[in-house]
Structure 1
Amino acid sequence: MTASALALIGIATGTLAPAQSAFAGDQLTITSWGGAVQAGLRKAAFEPFTRATGIKVTEAEYSGDIAKVRTMVETKTVSWDVLDASGTTAVVICNQGLVETIDWKKLGLDRTKFGDAANYDCGVPSYGSATVVAYDKDKLPNGPKTIADLFDTKKIPGKRGLWKSPYPNLEWALIADGVETKDVYKILATREGVERAFKRLDTIKNDVIWWTAGAQAPQLLADGQVVMTAAFNGRIVDAAKESGRRFEIMWDAANAGMSYWTIPTGSPHRDEAYKFLAFAGSPQPQADLTHYIPYAPANKDAMTLVDPAVLPYLSTTPEHDAIALHGSPPFWIEYGDELRQRFTAWLAK
């Protein structure tokens, strides 16, 4: 444990108490996404935090279900102290008052170290990830090269795996149809843009196998059910490492997003939650996460601690960032319900 990480915990609590002074009853329930990312967070953040503070971490898992958070808050039965929330989910639960506004002075973290990601008021930026297109290099030695290849079954025949969600499929459809990445949300906000996106999706609808959980995407690839698939970048790298398969990532139009550590309103262990956010936002734990899964640190000071061999797999490198699709939570808050209904109806046709 680094001195800086310990100091941050001390700043957040007013004292730099050794781990053994923590009360035996101190505990914290942290909820994340399960799978490879939670396993990585356990090694990089949860276990080191307990060693540093004596505060026991109990883990829970969820799939981004806002309704469960809302029910706990409204019925005053909150059992989660810290929640790993990503992208649009983070903004929605903040706007609805389901998570606390963060007091950065109490945290003792330098907010400027997180760049634009720190503009969000209800959480501490934790890690950057991306939804990418992945393939098996042994079966497709030359590509795909661009997001348009995902939609070109003549150039690359075979089934595609896609996340069963309008996001980021509608954005990708427009980019494949010639819309510049920077203009995607302006076009998708129009009726004509929506029609254009669905028309492009129509061209591959019969060649798609839909998945709903992150672990399914690399499995579809490993089983040979698809020639390429949308996938979470960390899942693909983890699957390749575990299986020895030559799974590769195509970074064009990778849908990049940020996750946040948030505190549900009514957390029964609020002070301990602040200690964890201070710890988890510090450079060393964020850099350590990349040892286990290639999700990029949000704290800019952590990047100097990352093994250079890991950099090609991170979504935030300058090369990847330059060609990424940066998701727009405000767009999906405004248009999400309508587009999800349209997407569900389209799938049923």
Structure 2
Amino acid sequence: MNHLLKSAGVAAVALAAIGYAGTSSAETLTIVSWGGAYTKSQVEAYHKPWIAQTGDTINSEDYNGGLAEIRAQVEAGNVTWNLVDVELSDAVRGCDEGILETLPTDDLPAGDDGTAAAEDFIAGTVHECAVGTIVWSTVYAYDTTKFDTGPTTIADFFDLEKFPGKRGMRKTPKANLEMALLADGVPSDEIYDLLATPEGVERAFAKLDTIKDDTIWWEAGAQPPQLLADGEVVMTTAYNGRLFNAIAKENKPFEIVWDGQVWDIDLWVIPRGAPNMERSWEFIKFSTDTQRLADQAKYISYGPVRKSSFDKILPEMQPHMPTAPDNFKNPLQNDFEFWADYGDELNERFNAWLAS
């Protein structure tokens, strides 16, 4: 999901071991995530405390999501990644394909308040092969210097007459098709039923057609804020945490429009056959405890998946969370089962549409 214009390749950052807290021996873990502000939040909240406690070395690598690289490593019998941060639809599909390890999730620790893990994690965030960490959203933002009166709805994103200028969108059907139908007036509770029909898919692509010639496609999460900052687009879809970083920490003149946000979760998975399985699982337990998840929300506006973490989030960060009441008035939860079932087919359709 998230960077500051990085390439799609590996951006490896070796974090030196600082301190050694009496584990039997130090290990090296290669942990793969989305880069930029998001990975920085993981480094500060998870990696550094883990390194201090264990003496381990963590190699942090970036990728742009999907299962292709995990699948290639598993099929080649040469797995070099210990842990990967994935979206929910990929966690479910990867588990079904047998390219992810089954995790002993009954072993997850209770919350700081004593609540059992099964009750403490938000429903749907712990799976057979994956343990959730954050709630995040795809939203859109605009450059406030470009408009006297800015957009306020998802329909405005598609309105080139009222709000002229280039758009930015992620180069994938996921979230784009949903936003297109929301902008076309489809109620959120009907989106996926409609998208499961040929007519619904046609309707979504027809809506995307209205802005296709004015759209710049991005792939890495760092790109949308950069596109806005460089004036290449006047508004763009983006991950809410990347926008928060640009607005709060870099003082960019951007405004987030929460209407029609598509929210999702990210989770840790272990590729099948990865080395250091036991140590990787210990890291998952550590990084998804109450305090670590609350700590991550200091650095980026993604909500923790443990209920016991919420009260520990800094008060000044709470309004920036996707699930804050003012932001959560017209949300759509990404349907992971839909994308696990239809992802390949719609990716093919989307790529053919882009090329046409």
In the superposition, the TM-score normalised over structure 2's length comes to 0.88
Moved more, 264-273 or 138-147: 138-147
When the two chains are superposed, the root-mean-square deviation of aligned CA atoms in Å is 1.7
**1:290-316 deviation per Cα after TM superposition (whole angstroms, max 9, x unaligned):** 121111111111110101111122112
Q: Whole-Å Cα distance in 2 between the matches of residues 174 and 152 of structure 1?
A: 14
Q: Given that residues 27 and 272 in structure 1 are in contact (C-alpha distance below 8 angstroms), is that contact kept between their aligned partners in structure 2?
A: no
Q: Which residue of 2 aligns with 1:256?
A: 263
Q: Given that residues 111 and 118 in structure 1 are in contact (C-alpha distance below 8 angstroms), is that contact kept between their aligned partners in structure 2?
A: no
Q: Which residue of 2 aligns with 1:125?
A: 132
Change beyond 3 A, Cα 1:31–1:51: same
Q: Which residue of 1 aligns with 2:22?
A: 21
1:324 aligns with 2:325: no
Change beyond 3 A, Cα 1:167–1:113: same
Q: Which residue of 1 aligns with 2:272?
A: 265
Q: Which residue of 1 aligns with 2:237?
A: 230
Identity among equivalent positions (%) equals 42
Look up the equivalent residue of 1:277 and give its one-letter code.
I
Q: Which residue of 1 aligns with 2:114?
A: none
Shift of 1:84: 0.9
Q: Given that residues 220 and 226 in structure 1 are in contact (C-alpha distance below 8 angstroms), is that contact kept between their aligned partners in structure 2?
A: yes
**1:70-117 deviation per Cα after TM superposition (whole angstroms, max 9, x unaligned):** 122223221221111112111111111111222123333412211213
Q: Which residue of 1 aligns with 2:120?
A: 113
Q: Given that residues 107 and 275 in structure 1 are in contact (C-alpha distance below 8 angstroms), is that contact kept between their aligned partners in structure 2?
A: no
1:243 aligns with 2:247: no
Q: Given that residues 112 and 118 in structure 1 are in contact (C-alpha distance below 8 angstroms), is that contact kept between their aligned partners in structure 2?
A: no
Q: Which residue of 2 aligns with 1:51?
A: 52
Q: Given that residues 126 and 132 in structure 2 are in contact (C-alpha distance below 8 angstroms), is that contact kept between their aligned partners in structure 1?
A: no
Change beyond 3 A, Cα 1:105–1:201: closer
Q: Given that residues 221 and 239 in structure 2 are in contact (C-alpha distance below 8 angstroms), is that contact kept between their aligned partners in structure 1?
A: yes
In structure 2, runs of 5+ residues without a counterpart are 1-18, 111-116
Moved more, 47-56 or 159-168: 47-56
Shift of 1:333: 1.9
Question: Where do residues 25-104 of structure 1 align in structure 2 (5 Å cutoff)?
Answer: 25-104=26-105
Look up the equivalent residue of 2:258 and give its one-letter code.
W
| Secondary structure of the structure 2 residue equivalent to 1:209 | strand
Shift of 1:317: 2.4
Q: Whole-Å Cα distance in 1 between the matches of residues 301 and 71 of structure 2?
A: 31
Q: Whole-Å Cα distance in 1 between the matches of residues 213 and 84 of structure 2?
A: 37
**1:283-342 deviation per Cα after TM superposition (whole angstroms, max 9, x unaligned):** 111111112111111111111010111112211224433421111111112222222222
Q: Whole-Å Cα distance in 2 between the matches of residues 29 and 205 of structure 1?
A: 38
149, 167, 170: which one pairs with 1:160? 167
Shift of 1:24: 3.8
Change beyond 3 A, Cα 1:103–1:288: same
Shift of 1:256: 0.6
Q: Whole-Å Cα distance in 1 between the matches of residues 66 and 197 of structure 2?
A: 28
Q: Whole-Å Cα distance in 2 between the matches of residues 83 and 205 of structure 1?
A: 32
Look up the equivalent residue of 1:220 and give its one-letter code.
L
Shift of 1:240: 2.1
**1:247-293 deviation per Cα after TM superposition (whole angstroms, max 9, x unaligned):** 11100111111001112212211111111111111111111111211
Q: Whole-Å Cα distance in 1 between the matches of residues 327 and 31 of structure 2?
A: 30
Look up the equivalent residue of 2:52 and give its one-letter code.
R
Q: Which residue of 2 aligns with 1:5?
A: none
Q: Given that residues 167 and 215 in structure 2 are in contact (C-alpha distance below 8 angstroms), is that contact kept between their aligned partners in structure 1?
A: yes
1:148 aligns with 2:155: yes
Question: Where do residues 186-205 of structure 1 align in structure 2 (5 Å cutoff)?
Answer: 186-205=193-212
Moved more, 33-42 or 100-109: 100-109
Greater helix proportion = 1
227, 237, 244: which one pairs with 1:220? 227
Shift of 1:19: 4.8
Q: Which residue of 1 aligns with 2:218?
A: 211
| Secondary structure of the structure 1 residue equivalent to 2:225 | helix
Shift of 1:219: 1.1
155, 169, 178: which one pairs with 1:171? 178
Look up the equivalent residue of 2:158 and give its one-letter code.
F
1:299 aligns with 2:306: yes
Q: Given that residues 86 and 258 in structure 1 are in contact (C-alpha distance below 8 angstroms), is that contact kept between their aligned partners in structure 2?
A: yes
Q: Given that residues 99 and 272 in structure 2 are in contact (C-alpha distance below 8 angstroms), is that contact kept between their aligned partners in structure 1?
A: yes
| Secondary structure of the structure 2 residue equivalent to 1:43 | helix
Q: Whole-Å Cα distance in 1 between the matches of residues 24 and 63 of structure 2?
A: 29
In structure 1, runs of 5+ residues without a counterpart are 1-17
Q: Whole-Å Cα distance in 1 between the matches of residues 213 and 38 of structure 2?
A: 32
Q: Given that residues 26 and 55 in structure 2 are in contact (C-alpha distance below 8 angstroms), is that contact kept between their aligned partners in structure 1?
A: no
In the superposition, the TM-score normalised over structure 1's length comes to 0.90
Q: Whole-Å Cα distance in 1 between the matches of residues 76 and 164 of structure 2?
A: 52
Shift of 1:119: 4.7
Change beyond 3 A, Cα 1:321–1:96: farther
Shift of 1:141: 5.0
